[in-house]
A and B are shown apart, each in its own frame.
Chain A
Amino acid sequence: MKKIILYLLTIGLAAVALTGARAQEIRIENTINILGQTKPVPVALDGFTGEAAEVLKFDLYVQGFSFVTPEAAQYLIHGSDAGSVAGTVTDKIARKVVLSRSYNGASLRRQAHAFADDIVEALQNKKGIGQTKIAFKSQPAAYGGGEIYIADFDGHGAQAVTTDGAIVAKPAWVPGKLALYYTSYARNNPDIFYHSLSSGQRRVVAGYSGLNTSATVSPDGAKIAMILSKAGSPNVWLCNADGSNLKRLTTGLEDSSPTWSPDGQWICFATKIAERRRLAKVSVDGGPVHTLNTAGVSNPTEPDWSPDGKWIAFTRQAGDFDICVMPADGSLPPTVLVAGQNPSWAPNSRTLVFNHEIGHREVLSVLDVFTKQYKDCARTVGSNSQPAWAK
C-alpha cells in the first residue's frame, strides 16, 4: 500500500514538474497582422530631444509603433541623448526592463538609429531597418533629366551617384552589395548600366537598339531581368549580371516592370491579358504566364515582391496612383493602402518606401503596410521618385 502511495506521489511530482515547465514557456503571440488595419503598438518616449527624438519617432512609427502618454503605453522608452544616446525599454505589463543600452561611436543620429533597431529587435523579435539605405531618382522638375542618388532610408545624407545630367530611371540594388543597376540616357539611348558604388566603375550591360529599362536583380545577384524591345515589342528578358547569356522570357505585347521572387524562381510583371491590364508571373526557366489575382483593382503596375515571399506591393493607375498590397499566393485580393506609386520593400517585409505627389513634385515616403502609418522622407529638394530599398 505504501509503495503505491509513494509511486503515485512520484508521478504526481513529475506531472507538476512538467506542467510547471510548460506554463513558464507560454508566450502571448502577437495578433495576426492585417493589411492596413493593424493597431500600432503604443509606446511612450521620455528624455530624448531634437535629432535623437526625431530619429526614434520616425523609425518606430514606420515599423508599427505609435506614441502615447505613459499611462496608455505598453512600453516605456526612457533615456537621454546628451553627448550620446542611452536608453531603457520597460515592458509595463510584465513590469520588467527588456532593453538597457548606451551607444558610442559614429554620430548621434546613427546611435539613435541603432537604438531604434535594438528596440524593434527586443519588441518585435525582428531586425530593425534604422540603418538601411535607399537609392532613388532625383530631378529638379517633375520630368526631364536627373541623377541617381543614395541616402539613409529616411532620406538623410543623400549623395549623388551620377552627375551626367541625363534622363535616368529605376535604380535597383544588387542584394547585399554596394552596387546598382539603373537606366540612363547618357549615351542618347535608354541603356541599363551596372555601377559599382565602392569603385565608381560602371558599364553598360544592355544597350540594344530600342528600349533597355526596368532592371531587377536576382536574389543571388547572378542575373537580372529587364525590359528590352529589341525583338519588336517591350518584353521581359533575362541575362547574367554582366549582360551576357541573353534570353527572352515573355512574348506578350505590353509587358513592363519585372520583379524577382525572393526564392529566385519567378518573375512577376505587368502585362495585358485578354484586353485587361494584369499582374502575371512566369518561371525564370520560361513557360506559361500565370495571371495573378488582382480582383477589384484596375491597371496594376510596378510590382515588388517582399523579401519573405509573402506579399506583392504594386501601383494602381486609376487616374491617380495608389499603393496596393496583396498576398503573393493570391489567397486574397489586393488591399488599397495609400495614394502613391513605385513601392519598394524594406528587408523587414512590412515597411516599404514609395513616392507620392505634393504640389506637382514627387516626395519619398515610408509606409508600414500593417498599420498604414506613413511618414515623408527628409529630402525636400527637387522631385524624388522610383526608390529602391537596399537588401
Chain B
Amino acid sequence: MKMNQLVFPLVIALAATLATTGCKKGTPKTTPLPGQRAYVGNPNDNAPTLPPANPFNPDNVPGSKPGSIETAGLDPFKDMTMDPAALAANTVHFAFDSAVVKQTEAANVSAVAAALAANASDKLEIDGHCDERGTQEYNRALGERRALALREALAKAGISPDRIRTISFGKDKPADPGHDEAAWSKNRRGEFILLHPKAGV
C-alpha cells in the first residue's frame, strides 16, 4: 500500500475539519475579559453653550445684490406706516379648511377696494389666519391661501396685486383663544391693514 497516496487527502480532510470547527465564530463560551473601559467625553463638553445668534442682516437676502434678476419683492412695502384700524370692520371670515371667499363677504371686499382706489399711494397688507384644528405648517399654508384669495378678489375689483402683500400667521394669532366653534369661526379670517406712505417720503 502506498501510504503517501492515502495520507495526503486525509490530511486535507483533517485540516478542513479543524479549520471550520476549531475556530468558533461568534461569542465564545469562555468568560470574557473583565469590563472594557470606555471614555465618554470631556467633562466640559457635556452641553457646550451656543454662541448667541447674530442680529440678522436684513440686507443679507438673495437678490439684494445689484444686478440680480430676482428681488425679494418686499422693497415696495418699506417705509410705510401701518393703519390696522382703517379696515378693521371689513375682516373677511372663511369656512372650515377653505380659502374660498364667500359671496356674503362681497361688501367687505368692495369696501377695501374702495379705500385703495381712493388713495393711489396707499398699499395693503392682508393677514391670513386659521383656527387651531390643522397642523402648524398646514395652517401656515392655508392662511396664505386665504390672503392670496382675497388679493385675487381685490384684483377682480380693479386693484393691482402689486399694491398688496400677504402674510400668513397660521394659527399663531387667534382672535379668540377658545376651543369651540364660536372661537374657531372668529379665527378663520383675513385681516386688512392699510399702509400709508411715511410723511415726507
Contacts and interface: CB of A to CB of B under 8 A. Distances in A.
Contacts of A25: 25
Nearest to A86: B35
B165 interface: yes
Given A20-B21, A197-B50, A211-B141, A106 B41 contact: yes
The interface size bin for chain B is 35 or more
A9 to B, nearest CB: 8
A186 B56 contact: yes
A190 B140 contact: yes
A247 to B, nearest CB: 12
B56 A204 contact: yes
Interface in A184-211: 186-191, 193, 195, 197-211
Given A211-B144, A234-B144, A195 B169 contact: no
A232 B47 CA distance: 44
A276 interface: no
A270 B138 contact: yes
Contacts of B25: 24-25
28 contacts: A3-B5, A18-B20, A20-B17, A21-B21, A25-B25, A86-B35, A97-B32, A104-B40, A107-B43, A110-B40, A159-B47, A159-B50, A164-B53, A167-B169, A167-B172, A187-B58, A203-B56, A203-B57, A204-B60, A206-B62, A209-B72, A209-B73, A213-B137, A214-B137, A227-B140, A256-B138, A302-B137, A317-B134
A257 interface: yes
Interface in B1-54: 1, 5-6, 9-10, 12-14, 16-21, 24-27, 29, 31-43, 45-47, 49-54
The interface size bin for chain A is 35 or more
B74 interface: yes
A377 to B, nearest CB: 16
Interface stretch (B85-93, B102-110, B112-120, B173-181): B173-181
B188 interface: no
Nearest to B60: A203
Interface string A155-176: 0010111111001011000000
Contacts of B191: none
A256 B135 CA distance: 11
Nearest to A319: B133
A380 interface: no
A239 B63 CA distance: 13
A282 B50 CA distance: 37
A6 interface: yes
Interface in A1-52: 2-3, 6-7, 9-11, 13-14, 16-18, 20-21, 24-25, 27
Given A203-B57, A209-B73, A385-B136, A17 B19 contact: yes
Contact of B40 (A114, A193, A213): A114
A385 B36 CA distance: 40
A324 to B, nearest CB: 13
A66 interface: no
Nearest to B174: A143
A183 to B, nearest CB: 8
Contacts of A233: 145, 148
A209 to B, nearest CB: 3
A331 to B, nearest CB: 26
Nearest to B167: A189
B78 to A, nearest CB: 11
A288 interface: no
B61 interface: yes
Nearest to B43: A106
Interface string A312-355: 00010101010000000000000000000110000000000000
Contacts of B77: 209
A67 to B, nearest CB: 23
A132 interface: no
B186 interface: no
A160 B53 CA distance: 10
Best-buried of B10, B52, B61, B135 by chain A (most CB within 10 Å): B135
Nearest to B149: A233
B41 A110 contact: yes
Contact of B39 (A105, A186, A199, A201): A105
A341 B135 contact: yes
Contacts of A107: 43, 46
B50 A102 contact: no
B13 A10 contact: yes
Nearest to A94: B27
Contacts of A20: 17, 20-21
A180 B141 CA distance: 21
Contacts of B70: 246
Given A16-B17, A209-B74, A257-B137, A229 B46 contact: no
B37 A103 contact: yes
Contacts of A170: 136-137
Interface in B134-187: 134-138, 140-141, 144-145, 148, 165-174, 177, 179
B54 A10 contact: no
B128 to A, nearest CB: 9
